[in-house]
Amino acid sequence: MSRTMPEIKVSVTFRHTESTPALKSYATEKVMHCLRKYLSNSADVQIVLEVQKRDHMVEVILRTKGYDITAKEKTEDLYSAIDKVVDNLDKQIRKRKERMQDHKHQAAPQA
């Protein structure tokens, strides 16, 4: 039985900074690697890379059938901001999945 990968649509937006293929592929690969572990249905992901003076911000907006998750991080470097936002996203998705499993496995109250 082969499991098909869910369809994940990713869009990358650059604000106040030049779009580079290296940065775009780095962000996409890191986020996709994180999402492949948890998602079983299709999702839309928006990655926003923004620079304001010395602050480099990355925001990831994940929209799936069951829930929406937003993760934001700010550092002095876009690559480290991407790494941090992926860790944040991973933590949020794991917490959401555990919460959903806990609700499914709770026993019905005995009368």
> Hey, how many other C-beta atoms are within 10 angstroms of the C-beta on 4?
6
Residue 2, in any domain of the structure: no
pLDDT band of 65, cuts 50, 70, 90: confident
Residue 111, in any domain of the structure: no
Domain ranges, residue 35: 8-105
Residue 98, in any domain of the structure: yes
Find, among 41, 40, 45, the residue nearest to 89 by Cα.
Answer: 45
pLDDT digits (tens, 9 = 90+) for 68-103: 999 999 999 999 999 999 999 999 999 988 887 776
The answer to whether the beta carbons of residues 65 and 41 sit under 8 Å apart is yes
Q: Residue 108: pLDDT above 70?
A: no
How many folded domains does the chain comprise? Answer: 1
Q: Residue 46: pLDDT above 70?
A: yes
Residue 18, in any domain of the structure: yes
Q: Tell me the CATH number at 56.
A: 3.30.160.100
